[in-house]
Amino acid sequence: MRVGIPRSLFYYYYGDIWKNFFDSLNISYIESPKTNQEIIDRGIKMANDEMCLSLKNYLGHIDYLKDKCDYILVPRISNFKNSNQTCTNFWAAYDIVKNLFPVNILHYNIDLEKGQTLKKGLYKIGKELNKNHHEIYKAYKYAITREKKRIKKNHIINLNKLKVNKTKILIVGHPYNLYDEMIGKDIIKYLIKNNIEVIYSDKFDSKITNPLSKKLSKDLYFKYSKDNLGSIIYCKNNIDGVIFISAFPCAPDSLANELAMRKLQIPHLNLVIDDSTSFTGLETRLESFLDMLGGSLND
């Protein structure tokens, strides 16, 4: 028995937890490969043409996995209490996949307002895979302690980056866009090649950044956008510029990033990535942005 883990959307938030959890339970799993043109094309074929690039991408990964495993892991994430919703695509992902693909789906629901937690979700999965209570408990503990350590480590790495004596740019975006090979990876590679210290907005501890977003936006209720805006406030005195990366047409980003850009006093660049965006166009914009930063640094 093999579980398929699509390397998109939820993977970048929960991937490590899932892998550690399955490792500890002795369940074999297969991850879809890093996004390539073929996967994007598959996704576009399956998806509706107005869906956001990240969701198309996700469907492409599922299409790749559908005949390579017995189960595909598709969670549904709705909210984290206290005005921390997610995008409605995260609410609907499970139902869309269920209707579009004739596959066995392993799923759980995170809805803290109704008491559906990650713990309950992983227990549900464990039981569906015929593991007993004790085994699941051990695996859950293992995965969670690993995850906590990872968050702490990332936070410290990011903090150390802020002290480096180089041009520092904060990249603001959702991890499923930033680290995806076809969406954000090229931009980050280009920045690193040009000797820029890249700080990722999602690698801060969200317990710290989430409340800080109140300083930019009082009413915002999208959790991942809140984390992003909070990270800008958190390190705005130590960075030289901000680059916003979002997929076209991302719903929360279209409003939250616009508000942030209108309120920010730091130089910023907004990059919206489409399935037909060529990197050459982006390169020109990045180059001029870096030139501008260099200019203001020398003054």
Partner 1 sequence: MIKIAFPHMGDYHIPANYLLSHIFPNTIVIKAPKITSKTIELGTKHSPEFVCTPFKYTLGTMIECLDEGANILIQMGGGCRYGYYAELQEKILKDLDYNCKVINLVTEGQTNIKRINNLLKQIDPKYSKIKALYYGFITLKMVKYMDKIDDYIRENIGFELTVGSFESLKEEMLITFSHVKSYKELYRAYKRYLKKFHNIKVHKPDNRLKIGIIGELYTIMEPFSNYYLEKELAKHHIEIKRFTNVHYLLFEKAHKYKKYKKYSKEYFTYNMGADASDNIARSKYLCEHNYDGIIHIKSSFCTPEIGAMPIINKIASFYHKPVLFFSFDSATSETGINTRLEAFYDMLEMRKDK
- Among 12, 29, 94, 142, the residue binding partner 1 under the rule CB under 8 A is 94
**Shorter beta-carbon distance to partner 1: residue 239 or 256:** 256
**Shorter beta-carbon distance to partner 1: residue 29 or 221:** 221
**Does residue 93 contact residue 60 with C-beta atoms inside 8 Å?**
no
Q: Structure tokens of 96? A: 């869309």
Region binding partner 1 by CB under 8 A among candidate stretches 19-27, 46-54, 62-70, 193-201:
46-54
Q: Structure tokens of 258? A: 């616009």
Region binding partner 1 by CB under 8 A among candidate stretches 60-68, 85-93, 189-197, 236-244:
85-93
Rounded Cα–Cα distance for residues 46 and 226 (Å)? 31
Neighbours of 226 (CB within 10 A): 26
**Shorter beta-carbon distance to partner 1: residue 144 or 259:** 259
- Among 1, 92, 208, 266, the residue binding partner 1 under the rule CB under 8 A is 92
- Among 151, 233, 255, 264, the residue binding partner 1 under the rule CB under 8 A is 255
Q: Structure tokens of 288? A: 């001029």
* Residue 83 engages partner 1 in binding (rule: CB under 8 A): yes
* Residue 85 engages partner 1 in binding (rule: CB under 8 A): yes
Binding to partner 1 in span 211-230, by CB under 8 A: 217-222
* Binding-residue total with partner 1 (CB under 8 A): 41
**Shorter beta-carbon distance to partner 1: residue 55 or 170:** 55
Region binding partner 1 by CB under 8 A among candidate stretches 21-29, 81-89, 148-156, 197-205:
81-89
* Residue 172 engages partner 1 in binding (rule: CB under 8 A): no
Letters for 106-125 (x = contact with partner 1 by CB under 8 A, - = none) are ---x----------------
Q: Is the peptide bond before 249 cis (omega within 30 degrees of 0)?
A: yes
Q: Structure tokens of 109? A: 């629901």
Q: Structure tokens of 226? A: 């809140």
Rounded Cα–Cα distance for residues 128 and 140 (Å)? 15
B/e letters for 9-29, b = 16+ CB within 10 Å, e = fewer, are: bbbbbbbebbbbbbebbebeb
3-state DSSP assignment of residue 56: helix
* Residue 13 engages partner 1 in binding (rule: CB under 8 A): no
**Shorter beta-carbon distance to partner 1: residue 197 or 252:** 252
Q: Structure tokens of 293? A: 């930063």
3-state DSSP assignment of residue 172: strand
3-state DSSP assignment of residue 169: strand
**Shorter beta-carbon distance to partner 1: residue 40 or 143:** 40
**Does residue 86 contact residue 77 with C-beta atoms inside 8 Å?**
yes
- Report the interface residues with partner 1, using CB under 8 A: 47-48, 50-52, 76, 78, 83, 85, 87-89, 91-92, 94-96, 98-100, 109, 217-222, 248-252, 254-259, 262-263, 272
